[in-house]
Amino acid sequence: MLEKEIKVMLSEEEYALLSARLRADGEVVQTNHYYYSPECAAARISVRVREVDGRSLLQVKLPVKTEGSLAVREELERELSGVPSAIPAELLEEVCGVRDEAVRIGSLTTDRKLSYEIDGVELCLDRNDYLGITDCELEAEYTGDYPEAVDELLRELGIDAGRPCEGKYSRFCRRLSELRQEQ
């Protein structure tokens, strides 16, 4: 599946503005368990197991295009029976062609508010907790043409949609590296 999304990091004030403005169509708490393998890291491939609604999903994301706040990635998914301490090389090869074991390095939990008020767009207002950090972001996932209505919504609230945004996996890895350097 090709995943196209606009990601915008938010201050607490911007998060509150969007939370008050967006129609609430649902809420979910999910935990991403992140994995590291040297080969995947070199190819900018992220590996995680997402726990949500009682399911454990292995999700592997391969980069296609990144441009400012726009990220296009190919997402491959496989259901698992739980959250392993490592993803075996054979399974990674089967899913994405990389034959390298991926070891679990930690978790990030997201409180996600969902809104579908813009046609063809899933708006995800996220509050993320990981490694002593809490941050907020808006993800607008879509399948068709670029949704200009998302930019219009953000402009209406005075939020800059063009600023670059690292994905959750990259932010998690950066924070993990900072903590390891402090030791």
pTM of the model: 0.90
Mean pLDDT split into 10-residue runs, the chain, 183 residues: 85 96 96 97 94 96 72 86 97 94 98 96 97 96 91 93 85 95 89
CATH topology (fold) of 2-182: Hypothetical Protein Pfu-838710-001 (2.40.320)
What pLDDT was estimated at residue 120? 93
- What letter represents residue 78's amino acid? R
**Burial status of residue 108 (CB atoms within 10 A of its CB: 0-12, 13-18, 19 or more):** buried
What pLDDT was estimated at residue 71? 64
What pLDDT was estimated at residue 1? 67
CA separation for the pair 90, 163 (Å, rounded):
38
CA separation for the pair 128, 176 (Å, rounded):
15
Strand, helix or coil for residue 141: strand
What pLDDT was estimated at residue 143? 86
DSSP code string of 102-135: EEEEEEEEEEEEEE--STTEEEEEEEEEETTEEE
What pLDDT was estimated at residue 163? 78
Task: Tell me the CB-side half-sphere exposure of residue 1, using CA atoms within 13 A.
Answer: 12
3-state helix, strand, coil in the chain (%, to 5): 25, 50, 25
